[in-house]
Amino acid sequence: MPHVAGLVRAAIPPMHPGGRPIVAGVALTAAVLHALTGRGAVAGALATAATAAFFREPRRVPPPRAGVVLAAADGTVAVVSEGPPPPELGLPPDPVPRVSVFLSVLDVHVQRIPVDGRVLAVEYRPGTFLSADLDKASEDNERNALLLETAGGDRVAVVQIAGLLARRIVCDVHPGNEVAAGETYGLIRFGSRVDTYLPPGSRVTVSVGQRTIGGETVLAELPGNG
């Protein structure tokens, strides 16, 4: 039995704590409807399972490479360009390399730290809820910006951006925290986008349309590490 239980745990990813209240609410609603009508048991069970799957937090293994920036999210690369980082982080306004990853409702929605280092700043900004696949979403939508600094002094910014359906951004780290590449730090509920701003001189290693795996896919090589 312990072996079987271990296989089940390995096959079914754990759930991010931020999703537990939502899953509990769906399960309670389904139970109440079934108690009142005597129907909908199967539909309720499926809805609860689908909601739990949305908040899954699968185990990831970062590649053993130094001097690289990992994808902060599962999804599809929507934009590879240059742009000024969010002004609330206090970085110079000069354009820097930027990679935007779009998350559909079927993707894993936890976010992961892209580099080993220290959290310098966490800044939340309210905004609109445009479709996350629009480039304007980076500027106008609700967002939470995270600034990291590596041991070598490189600064990387990661921005969680709410999408058309998203109404809640969760961030579990704070300024001063020491963090490791690949570890989970947050969650965006439902369709969304994650932008990564790289130091000048970084070499982007992904292309538009490419699928990324959070905590495993290499987005870029930091300056001096190409």
The yes-or-no answer on residue 138 being catalytic is: no
Active-site residue, from 100, 131, 138, 192: 192
Please name every residue paired with 147 in a beta bridge, in sequence order, or none if there are none: 121, 157
**SS3 for 181-214, per residue?**
CCCEEEEECCCEEEEEECCCCCEECCCCCCEECC
Identify the three-state secondary structure at position 93: coil
Q: How far apart are CA 183 and CA 210, in angstroms?
A: 22
Whole-Å CA distances, 168 to 111, 150, 171, 175:
13, 28, 10, 21
CA 131 to chain CA centroid, nearest Å: 16
Short-list 199, 81, 179, 193, CA closest to 143: 193
Q: What are the residue numbers of the active site?
A: 192
